[in-house]
Amino acid sequence: MLLSALLACTPGGGECSTLEQPDRDYCYSDRIESMGPEELDAVREVVLAIEDPLVREASVLAWLGVHADSVPLEEAESLCAVSGGEDSWLCKRRLHAAHLRREEH
């Protein structure tokens, strides 16, 4: 059972939808984490599948924390809006706070 749950969470290795909550949302969150900026539309779809608003918002913030510089600002803002939650303004605020972005050395 544990092996099948792990396989279900592997990106491309199964379906998160077969899991019970909260594991389903964590699985979707893990899937988002493994996606790149070229998969923005797919990221948006997976975000919408997350039921828990806190997991959804944390997933978006984490993904944008890594990829915000790689996607157009308007697209990043739309992802913030999709994350829902009352604090989607925080997501948008972080996008506009250039001093919070870390440059790779």
Give pLDDT tens digits along the chain (105 positions): 333 434 445 444 458 989 999 999 999 999 999 999 999 999 999 999 999 999 999 999 999 989 988 999 899 999 999 887 666 778 888 887 765 555 544
64 lies in which domain range?
2-100
Q: How many domains does one find in the chain?
A: 1
**How confident is the model over 3-22, as pLDDT tens digits?**
343 444 544 445 898 999 99
Q: Is 105 domain-assigned?
A: no
46 domain-assigned = yes
Supply the pLDDT for residue 92. Answer: 85
Nearest Cα to 50, choosing from 81, 77, 27, 69?
Answer: 27
pTM of the model: 0.76
For the chain, the distance separating the N- and C-terminal CA atoms, rounded to the nearest angstrom, is: 43
